[in-house]
Structure formats: structure tokens, C-alpha cells
Amino acid sequence: RNFVNAPAAKTGIKVVSTPDLRWARRDIKSVNLLAPVLAKQFALESGAQEAWLTEDGVVTEGASSTAWIVKGKTLISRPLSNKVLPGITRKAVLAYLAESGFSFEEREFTLEEALDAEEAFITSATSLVMPVTTIDGHTIHNGAPGPTAQRLREIYIDYARKGGVLG
């Protein structure tokens, strides 16, 4: 599978929200993947590629990704805690902030805030940096991948190629 040239990087992906049914220690990678699998199945049945898990109106993370929104020149994603699984791609994106010209605000954000964001995207080992263009049927960034997600994807792929991670 060619992660670098994924067609969805040019079109963006659809996300649906669903309640986060996982246990309280989400930071521990375990074999108990029933809740994320059910969330992914819900996304597929809804015509989406990913599900954003929510708890009390707050986005926790994607079923298999880290959830991000963009406001101005600020990237926003949830703080690391026992409520999320820390993503290696998230860590890489944060390492490239100086080059990207963006700042980072580590805080929770609501689903409503995500629907109002200038951009949204996910990060994961298989999607790298992937623009989100629709959340629960609401269009984000005019329904096209935004410049922030596109630029972060370019930077990530460039660094990964230089480090021998991507061929």
C-alpha cells in the first residue's frame, strides 16, 4: 500500500463522531480493540473513513488516529494523558512545528468547535497527515483539504524520506 500517494490526501476524508466506549486507561496499548473496531465499522457504514470518539461532547481521538483542528496559525490537539493513546506521527508533527510556522495549543476541543474549525486533520502511522473535509456531514474548509494539513503532510513526508522511513 502506498501511504505517501494515497488518493485521500488530495480529496480529504470524511469523519463521523461516535461515543468513546473504551475503558479509562486508553494510553495503554492492549489487545482489547473491540471499541475502536466498532467505531471503524460505524464509520464505514456511514460512508466515512474514520470515527472521532467523543466523551461529554469532547473529542478524545480517532478510532485509529489522533484528531486535530486548526484555528489561525494554531494547531490544536488533546493533551497526552491516560485518556488517549500517544501517536508517533503526532510526535513527529510537533517536532516539525518550527519549520511549519504554526504554534501548538495542547488542549481538549469539543465536537462543535471542530465543526467550526478552519481545518481538521488526523495523524496516524498509516494515514500520515490526512486532511478531514467532512465531520458528521458538515463541510470543513469548503470541502477541500486545507493548506495547513497539506503543508504538514509535505513536511512529514520530506523528513520521513530523508530519514529512510519512506521509500
| 2 belongs to a structural domain | no
**Per-residue burial over 99-111, b = 16 or more CB atoms within 10 Å of its CB, e = otherwise:** ebebeeeeebbeb
Residues catalogued as catalytic: 29
| 87 belongs to a structural domain | yes
| 3 belongs to a structural domain | no
What integer pLDDT is reported at residue 98 of this predicted model? 79
Question: Which residue range is the domain that position 74 belongs to?
Answer: 8-162
Alpha helix ranges (H) inside the chain: 8-11, 34-45, 88-95, 97-100, 111-116, 147-162
From the first residue on, what is the mean pLDDT of each consecutive set of 10 residues in the chain (167 residues)? 86 93 70 84 96 95 96 95 88 86 95 97 96 98 94 92 68
| 46 belongs to a structural domain | yes
For the chain, state the CA radius of gyration.
15
| 167 belongs to a structural domain | no
What integer pLDDT is reported at residue 164 of this predicted model? 58
| 109 belongs to a structural domain | yes
Residue 145 belongs to a domain with what CATH number?
3.20.10.10
- Domain count of the chain? 1
